[in-house]
């Protein structure tokens, strides 16, 4: 039995961790902390958990965290970096869903998150928790930085192209559409139903924090610096990210849809949570809603010699809590699929 704790489980990634973990026989959710809800039953906050999880929130410094095997941070950015070191010293393995340890370049991180990093010594040790790239390193990691929601979809979509040196890397484009839950459960006017429903808009054109995280991963895959235009869009739905990716084929290279298809299928043949769709299909976010899958399709526009990749995921599952659990499974040598085989809710 793996004893886990969750720090800051009052938002959407928190309730999603609980939905995935509380039915398991091999994992015990032993402690959940929340500064504001200390002493209250978890099911008061999340009525879907009534009858499934009988636990109260404790304070953020609950010593019970120290006796967990693993602790998830489902906190906003800038929180985990202050207390993670103590847990690691106590032998607890940490899975951080926030951005605190995602970016290796400390100065870059500090410029985007506009604060000093509180645990710079852990940045290098932290393993970027994208199993499709770092599975071996995850096994032994003491600290996991779970990838962001956009970075997961965008990287999984571009990886086969970059690793196989098929595309020009100076003008990659990621046009990404996210449901509103990506913004979390903050009471902010922009995310009110009356503001966000029945409308679509781009945002973050001046720069989005996921941009440097994506670039870091693409640079590694390409083994050289790539240039990326990243345009996220707020889409009128709760869950789901669809990344539409455009990459110009390398000059002099000739590709076909069939070749691309086999490259993608080969790349992800052994990946339990990446589903390469048959040629001609294209993924809808609803087909992966609530599941840990990333569904990918690849097509080729010969008119423009451009590869178009579509990658769909549930931003709260493969884009956050599901991927965190996938990391947990890998770290503890459990079947990677454990607790993650739920089928998408359709319709």
Site for a copy of itself in 46-65 (CB under 8 A): 46-52
- Report which of 21, 72, 170 is spatially closest to residue 83, judged by C-alpha positions: 72
Task: Classify residue 225 by burial, with Cβ atoms within 10 Å: 0-12, 13-18, 19+.
Answer: exposed
Is 107 a binding residue for a copy of itself by CB under 8 A? The answer is: no
The residue (of 115 and 197) whose beta carbon lies closer to a copy of itself is: 197
245 CB-near residues (< 8 Å, 6+ apart): 154, 157, 158, 172, 173, 174, 175, 307, 308, 309, 310, 311
122 forms part of the interface with a copy of itself (CB under 8 A):
no
Q: Is 262 in the site for a copy of itself (CB under 8 A)?
A: no
Q: Is 194 in the site for a copy of itself (CB under 8 A)?
A: yes
Task: Give the shortest CB-304-to-a copy of itself separation in angstroms.
Answer: 5
The one among 38, 256, 262, 341 contacting a copy of itself by CB under 8 A: 341
Asked if 310 interacts with a copy of itself (CB under 8 A), we say yes
Task: Pick the closest to residue 316 from 210, 214, 180 (CA basis).
Answer: 180
Applying the rule CB under 8 A, the residues between 75 and 94 that interact with a copy of itself are none
Length of the chain equals: 347
Size of residue set near a copy of itself by CB under 8 A: 87
Does residue 181 touch a copy of itself according to CB under 8 A?
Answer: yes
126-134, 141-149, 281-289, 323-331 -> range binding a copy of itself (CB under 8 A) = 281-289
Instruction: Kindly tell me which of 143 and 149 has the beta carbon lying closer to a copy of itself.
Output: 149
| 157 lines the binding site for a copy of itself (CB under 8 A) | no
Pairing of strands 228-234, 172-178: parallel
The single residue among 187, 254, 269, 333 that binds a copy of itself, judged by CB under 8 A, is 187
Question: Is position 256 an interface residue for a copy of itself (rule: CB under 8 A)?
Answer: no
Quick one: 130 or 247, whose CB is closer to a copy of itself?
247
Binding span for a copy of itself by CB under 8 A among 72-80, 121-129, 142-150, 274-282: 274-282
149 labelled catalytic:
yes
Nearer to a copy of itself, 191 or 332 (CB): 191
Q: How far is CA 187 from CA 127, 184, 209, 307, in A?
A: 32, 9, 20, 39
- Binding to a copy of itself (CB under 8 A) within 9-48 occurs at 12, 15, 18-19, 22-23, 46-48
Indicate whether 344 belongs to the interface with a copy of itself (CB under 8 A): yes
Q: Are 288 and 274 in contact (CB under 8 A)?
A: no
Residues with Cβ within 8 Å of 41's Cβ and at least 6 positions away in sequence, in order, are 54, 55, 56, 57
Does 177 participate in binding a copy of itself (rule CB under 8 A)? yes
Q: How far is the CB of 147 from a copy of itself (least distance, A)?
A: 21
Each residue of 5-16: b (16+ CB within 10 Å) or e? bbbbbbbbbbbb
Token pair in block for residue 81: 């970096």
Give every CB contact of residue 253 below 8 A, 6+ residues apart in sequence.
166
Q: Residue with structure tokens 């965008």? A: 154
Q: Which residues are tagged catalytic?
A: 149
């Amino acid at each position: 039995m793996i004893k886990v704790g969750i720090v800051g489980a009052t938002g959407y990634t928190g309730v999603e961790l609980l939905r995935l973990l509380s039915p398991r026989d091999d994992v015990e959710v032993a402690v959940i902390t929340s500064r504001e809800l200390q002493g209250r039953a978890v099911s008061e906050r999340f009525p879907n958990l009534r009858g499934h999880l009988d636990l109260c929130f404790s304070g953020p410094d609950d010593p019970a965290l120290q006796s967990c095997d693993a602790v998830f941070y489902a906190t906003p950015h800038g929180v985990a970096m202050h207390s993670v070191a103590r847990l690691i010293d106590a032998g607890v393995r940490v899975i951080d869903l926030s951005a605190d340890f995602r970016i290796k370049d400390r100065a870059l991180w500090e410029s985007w998150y506009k604060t000093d990093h509180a645990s710079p010594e852990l940045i290098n040790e932290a393993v970027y928790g994208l199993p499709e790239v770092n599975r071996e390193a995850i096994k032994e990691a003491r600290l996991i930085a779970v990838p962001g929601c956009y970075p997961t979809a965008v990287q999984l979509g571009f990886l086969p192209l970059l690793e196989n040196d098929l595309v020009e890397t100076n003008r990659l484009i990621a046009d990404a559409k996210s449901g509103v839950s990506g913004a979390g459960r903050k009471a902010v006017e922009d995310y009110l139903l009356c503001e966000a429903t029945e409308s679509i808009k781009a945002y973050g054109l001046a720069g989005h924090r996921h941009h440097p995280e994506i670039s870091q991963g693409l640079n590694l895959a390409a083994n050289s610096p790539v240039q990326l235009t990243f345009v996220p869009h707020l889409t009128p739905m709760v869950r789901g990210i669809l990344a539409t990716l455009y990459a110009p084929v390398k000059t002099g290279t000739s590709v076909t849809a069939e070749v691309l298809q086999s490259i993608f299928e080969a790349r992800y043949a052994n990946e339990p949570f990446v589903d390469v769709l048959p040629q001609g299909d294209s993924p809808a976010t609803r087909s992966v809603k609530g599941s840990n899958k990333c569904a990918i399709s690849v097509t080729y526009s010969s008119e423009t010699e451009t590869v178009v990749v579509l990658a769909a995921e549930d931003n709260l599952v493969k884009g956050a809590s599901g991927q965190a659990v996938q990391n947990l499974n890998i770290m503890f040598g459990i079947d990677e699929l454990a607790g993650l085989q739920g089928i998408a809710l359709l319709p």
